Chains A and B, each alone.
Chain A
Amino acid sequence: MTRQSDFPRAAHWLLRMSPVPRDMRAEVQADLHELFVARRLDRGSLHAHWRLYHDVASLWLQRRPAQHPTAPTSTFGLLGDTRGDLRYAARMFARQPAILLLTIVGLSLGLGIATAAFSIMNAAVLRGEGVVDPDRAPGVLRATGRSVATAWSYQEFVHLREGATRTQVEAVNQDGAVVRTTTGEADAPVTRLTFVSGGFFSATGGRAIAGRTLEAADERLDGPPPVIVSFVFWTSRLNRDPQAVGRTIWIGRTAATIVGVAERGFTVPSNTLIWLPLTSYDAVYSTRPVVTPPKVMVQVFGRLFPGVAFPEAEAQLSAVAGSLPGVPSTGESAVRVRLDPRGGLGRMSSSNVLAITLFVFAVIGLVLLLTCANVATVLISTAITREREMGVRAALGASRWRIVRQLVTESLALGAVAATVGLVFAYWTIPTIGTMIEAPAGADLAPDFSVYIFLGIVTLMSGVGAGLAPAWHSRGADLLTPLKGEGAHDRRMAPRRLRSLLVMTQAAASVLLIVLATLFVRATWRAATVDVGFDPNELYAVSAGLGNAFSGNDGVKRFWARAMPELQAVPGMAAVTLAEMTPFAGGSKTAITRDAAAHVVHLNRTRADYFATLGLRILDGRTFTAGEIAAKTPVALVSQSLARAYWPGQSPLGQILPQEIPLPPTTAPGKTIVISAPRPVIIGVVAGAITARLHERSTFAVYEPLDPGSEVFAQLLIRIAPGTTGAIQQMSQRLRAIDPQVDLRITSVAAGLRQEASRPRMLATLTGFVGIIAIVLCVIGLYGVTASVVGQRTREMGVRIAIGAQSSDLLRLLMWESLRPVVVGVALGAGAALLASRAVLAVMFFGVSPRDPIALAGAAVILLAAAFLAVLVPTRRAASVDAAFVLRQS
């Protein structure tokens, strides 16, 4: 734009700064000038100047809309430029489809795995169970001078609720029962139920999306129990029936009416599918007409009234607990209340999965790091070949910011495509990963809004990060130099360092993942071949689901008294016994201590023939006698390992079992810890056996006689003689003949063991899969970098050959320079693997040391071999260059 000689200079500059598009400025200036000249003639110079600046100012105030669709004005400039960037990116990628494909595959895998893992974590931990303000809803613990327990009787709870003035006190009891949605439904699954007090929903903040929630008036004994079904139940079992409210379903032994559907995401406690009033407990489990309030243990929690502090609420509740009927108000047995903010509802599940959560998040982080590094490497490789193009753009007036924006737009466009593919991939893998980390049944794993937010943020970050790397690479570079031809290439060291760093990062991440995968694979192998101390085949655990059906009378005792001889008479039945815990079906742990030597032991209460049924030899002493069981004499059998730990070199028989100490809540969440007295006397020593978690390898066990009063919760353990068929069916028939509505759940102990052993296998699959992707990505990146680097050094190679270097010398030089970052990365990755496996994963590796030399060496060899091949191809091409040809070229 040139300035007419008599057009004021200031107005000319103001016009240049105005929002008038560049291509229209000349026209506008001509108009202004024409008016200026006319006004000067008409009204004089002062008036013309004044009006001229007024007109120029009006160009700011009076923005015009886009006048020509082809030439965007400044208002839409950014958008139009971005569209141009995108179009350009599309053209560029169309020229290099291989790079496009590789990058998108890598990014999709990374984003997909990260999204899947995040949505599981989100469902399991982050989303919580839907309790509003859980910090103000502590668990109410029953504390005496000798014990702290989470369980209260229903009557005690009612007493607390009536006396509480600072807190809303509510109670839950979790159980399971067969739930049928139609009368004829066969093989209906056992569903998680929670019996709740009337104010449960108001205290937790749970809302209904249809019908209503439970209210205090629902705590009644007559009529069919009102139930609330969860969103998951409504979806999976009722097919989102719009007429669900008012429908009848059959829970255990009773028909119940659905009065409401809980909102999505409300699953308190522990992925509950159905909520019923506590007063309907007997209706679900009992055969007798329900007339009295339930004799059931409940877990109590409180909701502090606004403005009430924890100590105030605790003191008030303790005063109420002090007046519990039938409990001394002073002394060691006096009951006090302790409020535990960490023991409230919706808090227990999170501590259980913390280790796995950390692990999965670490894997997510690694995968994302790897993906970003890979995409950055590929983009840098292309950036090197695009230096000339960048130079042309700079020469045509593109600012550095403009070029950076082009690069970031390209990687964001890649990221957007990859995010879409990744989301599909995530939907596909979520159920698989859910199984791997043992997501509880009934958990709603479908990605929600926060998952999409996560994916968006991660895509944005990786896109910008991967796009900035090439921009960083070209920083400080003279963008015009490349235009002068290859001979004028400047030799910068910084970009090479960045590339090496990226390759190193990828190598380290790959090694880390491969080491972990190898460890998991070896752990799987060990787990599958471990000797648990007994033969799990032909061994079955049977839960009769008696619940409180016979509570308060001798019904349970009579049931088992009739059932046991009948079962023993079944052909092919080798042994039958009752025990509180059956192998690999969870277990109660406690810690005992003597002389400061504390050991975590598994505590089981069994009948005398438990050991014979399981196949555990009694090494010393004897088993329980009928008299001891009936008289509740404090006696116990201990495992050989425990006997050796406490009484090395002497007989444990006749010794007193050391004092129990309560475990910290994180070790045994939700378990009732009662310190019982007097301490039992040891009467026998049993061979060691692993009956709980396989990876703990602990054979420390204490067996106490099964109290006949507790048989209601006992499980049947049966061993079938090998080669017989039909024993299970016969057993079911005979038990149903005694009680037609018995709720039998038969599980194979061998299957339980297999599931235990499959835990490391699942993790092995996850890390192995990710590890293989890691290696593939690493090799792709390495190949790209090496090819472009040696391509740039062709001239140097020509000179070297011309002054007498051998082809093998060049090969060695190039190979070493390309492989050096890989070697450093392998070393770093191995170090990280040692730290990671020791810090987080030691608990999960069964029978494998974290410092497993085979795993480390294997990972290093695999990666180095792959890297060697990736580097060999381009370097050989470069080393066999024709010196005369190259030198002639320049």
Chain B
Amino acid sequence: MKGDRLGEFEEFTLLAVRALGDSTYAVPVQQYVEKVTARPVSLGSIYAALARLEEKGFLRSTMSEALAQRGGKSKRVYSVTPSGLRTARDLHRLRERMWHAITEGGRS
């Protein structure tokens, strides 16, 4: 997966971050993706996808304050960048166009 294209799993992760609202972190993302896709998702793959997305500039992250409920540990919170949003939308439009073509082809 080179450049600024999105893989399927990356797309899920990106959309999950967006869906969960800004300043979400790895655990809710894992739970969300697992729930939506209805298949077991490992935390390691979520970390890897988040890191790759951040590297591509689709996500940005900051460290939160230390939280009492996490045993005094801080967490890395993510939010989607405009470029990430744009890429996800482009991908969505592309898919729509293709489905549109398939549906039209089916009619005629």
Binds A, one of B13-21, B36-44, B81-89: B36-44
Knowing A34-B27, A34-B70 are in contact, say whether A64-B40 is a contact too (CB < 8 A).
no
Q: Flag B18-51 by CB within 8 Å of A: 1 or 0 each.
A: 0000000111001100000000101111011011
Are B45's CB and A62's CB within 8 A?
A: yes
Knowing A31-B75, A51-B40, A58-B44 are in contact, say whether A38-B31 is a contact too (CB < 8 A).
yes
Q: Does residue B76 face the partner (Cβ distance < 8 Å to A)?
A: yes
- A64 and B74 alpha carbons, distance in the complex (Å): 20
Are B70's CB and A54's CB within 8 A?
A: no
How many chain B residues sit at the interface, stated as a range, is: 20 to 34
CB distance from B10 to the nearest CB of A (A): 12
Are B30's CB and A30's CB within 8 A?
A: no
Knowing A34-B27, A54-B42, A58-B45 are in contact, say whether A64-B51 is a contact too (CB < 8 A).
yes
Interface residues of B in 85-105 (CB under 8 A from A): none
Partner of A62, one of B26, B48, B71: B48
CB distance from A38 to the nearest CB of B (A): 7
Are B47's CB and A28's CB within 8 A?
A: yes
Are B25's CB and A31's CB within 8 A?
A: yes
Interface residues of A in 30-75 (CB under 8 A from B): 30-35, 38, 51, 54-67
Are A35's CB and B48's CB within 8 A?
A: no
Q: Does residue A26 face the partner (Cβ distance < 8 Å to B)?
A: yes
Knowing A35-B30, A67-B54 are in contact, say whether A27-B75 is a contact too (CB < 8 A).
yes
A73 to B, closest residue via Cβ: B51
A59 to B, closest residue via Cβ: B44
Q: Does residue A651 face the partner (Cβ distance < 8 Å to B)?
A: no
Knowing A4-B71, A65-B55, A67-B54 are in contact, say whether A31-B43 is a contact too (CB < 8 A).
yes
CB distance from A39 to the nearest CB of B (A): 9
Are B71's CB and A35's CB within 8 A?
A: no
Residues on A with C-beta less than 8 A from B45 are 58, 62
- A742 and B74 alpha carbons, distance in the complex (Å): 98
Interface centre among B26, B47, B70 (most CB of A within 10 A): B47
Are A62's CB and B44's CB within 8 A?
A: yes
Residues on B with C-beta less than 8 A from A35 are 27, 30-31, 43
- A584 and B40 alpha carbons, distance in the complex (Å): 92
Are A54's CB and B47's CB within 8 A?
A: no
Q: Flag B48-74 by CB within 8 Å of A: 1 or 0 each.
A: 101110110000000000000011011
Are B52's CB and A64's CB within 8 A?
A: yes
- A67 and B70 alpha carbons, distance in the complex (Å): 22
CB distance from A839 to the nearest CB of B (A): 64
Are A65's CB and B43's CB within 8 A?
A: no
- A511 and B52 alpha carbons, distance in the complex (Å): 63
Knowing A27-B76, A64-B48 are in contact, say whether A58-B27 is a contact too (CB < 8 A).
no
Residues on A with C-beta less than 8 A from B40 are 51, 54
- A526 and B48 alpha carbons, distance in the complex (Å): 80
Are B70's CB and A64's CB within 8 A?
A: no
Are B75's CB and A30's CB within 8 A?
A: yes
Are A30's CB and B42's CB within 8 A?
A: no
CB distance from A70 to the nearest CB of B (A): 13
- A23 and B71 alpha carbons, distance in the complex (Å): 16
Residues on B with C-beta less than 8 A from A54 are 40, 42
Partner of B44, one of A4, A29, A55: A55
- A51 and B45 alpha carbons, distance in the complex (Å): 13
How many chain A residues sit at the interface, stated as a range, is: 20 to 34
Residues on B with C-beta less than 8 A from A60 are 44
Knowing A26-B73, A30-B75, A35-B30 are in contact, say whether A65-B44 is a contact too (CB < 8 A).
no
Partner of B74, one of A27, A34, A67: A27
Residues on B with C-beta less than 8 A from A56 are 44
- A56 and B45 alpha carbons, distance in the complex (Å): 11
Are A62's CB and B70's CB within 8 A?
A: no
Are B43's CB and A55's CB within 8 A?
A: yes
Are A63's CB and B74's CB within 8 A?
A: no
Residues on B with C-beta less than 8 A from A57 are 42, 44
Residues on B with C-beta less than 8 A from A61 are 42, 44
CB distance from A488 to the nearest CB of B (A): 41
Residues on B with C-beta less than 8 A from A29 are 73
CB distance from B15 to the nearest CB of A (A): 19
- A31 and B76 alpha carbons, distance in the complex (Å): 10
- A51 and B42 alpha carbons, distance in the complex (Å): 8
A35 to B, closest residue via Cβ: B27
Are B52's CB and A58's CB within 8 A?
A: no
Residues on A with C-beta less than 8 A from B55 are 65-67
Residues on A with C-beta less than 8 A from B31 are 35, 38
- A151 and B9 alpha carbons, distance in the complex (Å): 81
Are B51's CB and A67's CB within 8 A?
A: yes
Residues on A with C-beta less than 8 A from B54 are 67
CB distance from A336 to the nearest CB of B (A): 72
Residues on A with C-beta less than 8 A from B50 are 64
Are A31's CB and B42's CB within 8 A?
A: no
Knowing A58-B43, A62-B42, A65-B51 are in contact, say whether A33-B71 is a contact too (CB < 8 A).
yes
- A4 and B30 alpha carbons, distance in the complex (Å): 21
CB distance from B24 to the nearest CB of A (A): 12
- A131 and B43 alpha carbons, distance in the complex (Å): 64
- A59 and B44 alpha carbons, distance in the complex (Å): 5
- A187 and B30 alpha carbons, distance in the complex (Å): 87
Residues on B with C-beta less than 8 A from A62 are 42, 44-45, 47-48
Partner of B71, one of A30, A38, A55: A30
Residues on B with C-beta less than 8 A from A31 are 25-27, 43, 75
Residues on B with C-beta less than 8 A from A51 are 40
B63 to A, closest residue via Cβ: A27
A4 to B, closest residue via Cβ: B71
CB distance from B43 to the nearest CB of A (A): 4
CB distance from B44 to the nearest CB of A (A): 3
- A55 and B30 alpha carbons, distance in the complex (Å): 11
- Extra contacts, 6 of them, besides A31-B75, A61-B42, A64-B47 (Cβ < 8 A), are A26-B73, A28-B43, A31-B25, A31-B27, A60-B44, A66-B55
Q: Which chain A residues have a beta carbon within 8 Å of chain B's beta carbons? A: 2, 4, 26-35, 38, 51, 54-67
- When A and B form their complex, which 5 residue pairs have the shortest distance between CB atoms, in order from nearest? A58-B44, A58-B42, A62-B44, A64-B51, A30-B73
Can you list 22 A-B pairs with a CB-CB distance of less than 8 A?
Answer: A26-B73, A27-B73, A27-B75, A28-B43, A28-B47, A31-B26, A31-B27, A33-B71, A34-B70, A35-B27, A54-B40, A57-B42, A57-B44, A59-B47, A61-B44, A63-B48, A64-B51, A65-B51, A65-B52, A66-B55, A67-B51, A67-B54
